[in-house]
A and B are shown apart, each in its own frame.
Chain A
């Protein structure tokens, strides 16, 4: 009964989405305020019914209702509760339902927190969001019904892919989706602005916090995904340039460009059509990511069910949404006149360089991701583009971008003098150079220009951000939140760069054969293999566990227990690495294969500064959060509400 209620709620959701898409927009056209006013309550109703539908699916998983096909295929009675819940989105149908539910959540949030937006604008925004929801709901109902029943329910479910039975993966997809779907708000604002033919500073001020919040979630989601890959996949890597990872990086790059370009549109009324294009691009890339993951066009370690019929549906949907909005853009963009003028040396140009570099980076990553498909479509064969391609392109482009990050903060709007700029930048440039030259000496390793370059860029970004922040006048606590945000964002990036550089260049990775009670030394730590235990029982797996005693200079330091877990027939054995984390280095040991006579193969890693990659990601997201809550966004709302109250007063 409950699954049927969920299914029914989904269909009602579709009906509501159609109302949301049609009436407010028609109301604007026919000048019917009541129709426009429908936007708000309808968004609430949409959220309610999709919420019911989602709750029904969660209930089906929690109660292990194997008459529902989805539950039978992805759950198991013996799974811990948290993974029963997370299996809801550990599969195609459920994750789409989550996606749509989150979309309705964003819709409700916009309708609640955007009281300062003129009703015409809000009506258009809500209508566009309604249209996106129609697409996803049709997709769900027509090709991927999560509530499909089985005529002969099995006694036991098929369990969730063991790789996904992990806390990181329970949180990672919702986080990422919040980001993907969040860009639909900026997208809807952009479409609404083009329909109205007006895009001013007020528009940018409405769109900015929403874009920021979506971007924060995406940053968090990517960071979390990278951390998960590191400790769960057992390869000790943190980024693989896998198509699915790229699918999340692409909207992030476009979104980063958008966050910065919105600043120019708000403050200087310039870059208008570019900002609109970026808003379309960020959301389009989110949709494209969904297409790539769901259609099976590209093979990836992450692919769930690949199904060409679904692929065709998403492709048609992409054509309508992206093709439609780009046609609108082609027709209307020239009306969005940019009035702000600026000179060659100005903050506008600095941000332009930032935007162009990010756009090129986005396109090259997109090209690399689709390259196997291009080659295939041309009939030349099937290939995989390896990480070397991506590493080669991101190094020079990243260098340009990161150098500009330091200059950009100090540039003045409109016109700046090169001499003034040069004087300001001399100090951080010199300190960064000194760090780049002498920094590598602290590590007793061979000199590499890559380390110097990485340290140069990281210290340059961090120093310029801190100096700029200090020069913002006023005392620490009176600085605007947006200044705090920019500082954290930039310093976070510096931390990420430091982590990537030092981990990539200075990691030690050893594959060793260890006999019982023998040892091996890596980077001053000696690893001793003392014991192996077989057939340990977990809740829904059996494990082989090794005991490794680690000592430093003869003193016992820590004991790690790397495991290999078996989740039953038909599943790959999972590597559960033993990790001792630290701010400056990680010790990572993974259990390999038995080599006979009590000997086992092990992989031992010493990874300096690897945590900085994720720490930086957290800092960046935190910076975005601070900026989104800057006083001026609330101020516009307060001024508006006061105005409204005053008008009401005079009317009475």
Chain B
């Protein structure tokens, strides 16, 4: 038996361990140090209306969601329909943070095609070409969604694509509860 013939088996075992880990991962429960803290301020140009800006401050007084997304992100495509239905049905003002996408050389204005095809549920889209605001919010990857209350405090963070279960079990009760709170 030659040792070199063991290499494929060895690589496969590593791969299997990785896949096993992948199965047991629950991406939804990563604790975020930002929960309970004020949403970091941002002031960014808007997609479609580049002369206008959108800021965290302007959203104060309402319960809103910030959804970090990008056209290059497959998981964003996966969550888009569920997210859009949720936004429309519960009339949740949602700001899209277009993360390292619009204006980046490789993607250009892909996001415009993307939204034209899938529909645009956002009240405003903030362009974060360099990802600075993303860093301020401690974004691990895309997509991520932050629920922010009337006082501008982050109350919940969802990592990964939002599915119907997360909407019915977590987001809807949370939004309804936060709306009861005083501004």
Which residues of chain A have a CB within 8 Å of any CB of chain B?
234-235, 242-243, 273, 277, 280-281, 284, 291, 295, 297, 299-301, 303, 308, 311-312, 315, 318-319, 322-323, 326-327, 329-331, 333-334, 370, 372-377, 380-384, 386-388, 511, 570, 572-573, 575, 592-593, 601, 603
Contact = CB atoms under 8 A, between A and B. Distances in A.
A331 to B, nearest CB: 6
A603 B5 contact: no
Given A327-B9, A374-B18, A377-B18, A308 B116 contact: no
Contacts of B161: 299
Contact of B117 (A234, A243, A376, A381): A234
Contact of B141 (A315, A382, A572): A382
Interface string B9-39: 1001101101111111101000000000000
Given A326-B9, A382-B140, A376 B22 contact: yes
Given A315-B16, A326-B12, A329-B9, A384 B73 contact: yes
Given A299-B74, A603-B113, A373 B9 contact: no
Nearest to B71: A386
Nearest to B70: A384
Given A301-B78, A370-B15, A377-B21, 12 more contacts: A234-B117, A235-B117, A284-B12, A299-B161, A300-B78, A315-B23, A318-B19, A329-B8, A331-B1, A333-B2, A334-B1, A592-B116
B70 to A, nearest CB: 8
A299 B81 CA distance: 14
B153 interface: no
A290 B150 CA distance: 46
Contacts, number: 118
B112 interface: yes
Interface of B: 1-2, 5-6, 8-9, 12-13, 15-16, 18-25, 27, 70, 72-75, 77-78, 81, 85, 106-107, 109, 112-113, 116-119, 140-142, 159-161
Contact of B142 (A284, A323, A375, A384): A384
Nearest to A564: B117
Contact of B116 (A243, A277, A593): A593
Contacts of B74: 242-243, 299-301, 384
Contacts of B22: 295, 297, 373, 376-377
25 contacts: A235-B117, A243-B74, A277-B8, A291-B19, A295-B22, A299-B161, A311-B23, A312-B23, A315-B16, A315-B23, A318-B19, A323-B16, A327-B9, A329-B8, A330-B5, A330-B6, A330-B8, A377-B21, A377-B22, A381-B141, A383-B140, A384-B75, A386-B72, A572-B119, A601-B116
B119 to A, nearest CB: 8
